[in-house]
Amino acid sequence: MQFRPFAQRAAACALVVLAAIPQTTQAQSPTLPAELQSVRKLLDKYNDPVVAVHDGYLSTLGCISYPNGGGEGAMRYAPGAMGVHFLNMGAVGPTLDPAKPQVLIYEPQGDKLRLVAAEWFMPTEVAGGKAPAIFGQTLGGPMEGHQPLMPPGLHHYDLHVWLWKTNPEGVYSPTNPAVKCPATGYSFAEAAPKMAHPHK
């Protein structure tokens, strides 16, 4: 005779949990201006990293973090991480397209990769001596390549945009303290890249 009250309480608890799920999901997604919402929608297909590989984005293997941020003579990164970069060299050139970032960034979560950001990237040698801009933002740099996964001589500008994961430092911050790299495997805790002189 005690089953009915127990069942009612269990059902009520289940409804509370189910009601909380969309709120949790929403809290994990950044609030974006309309332009970036449109960009995120265009790039949502890359939530599947296999689709990204098919479209020419190839993994640079390592999960990158900057636990100490950046100091004098280096990029002024806040302490945090970036994640695993998938680079599309076919998209690299002298112009930037909102629909075609040069880099997609994933965060390892267990045995999965979760898409968290996109990056617009331009080498200084094709930038014409002027820092490029997109979304009303000037790309950071010029800076040296991010070692150990990039040669230091690859001077470039870049802009990270956290389209899928909220960043306490801001949607355009290079690093995100909420991103975590695994303690084992191909994780690299780097020093922030040094500033470089643009090519004329």
**DSSP character string of 15-75:** HHHHHHHHHHHHHHSPP--HHHHHHHHHHGGGGSHHHHHHTT-EEEEEEEEETT---TTB-
| Domain assignment present for 139 | yes
Closest among 163, 183, 196 to 67, alpha carbons compared: 183
Residue 96: domain span: 32-189
| Domain assignment present for 124 | yes
| Domain assignment present for 36 | yes
Task: State the pLDDT at residue 7.
Answer: 41
Q: Which residues of the chain have pLDDT under 50?
A: 1-27, 199-200
Task: State the pLDDT at residue 198.
Answer: 55
| Domain assignment present for 97 | yes
What six digits make up the tokens of 136?
Answer: 């009303």
Find the radius of gyration of the CA atoms of the chain: 20
| Domain assignment present for 4 | no
The model's pTM is 0.84
Number of domains in the chain: 1
| Domain assignment present for 15 | no
Closest among 60, 80, 59 to 192, alpha carbons compared: 80
| Domain assignment present for 11 | no
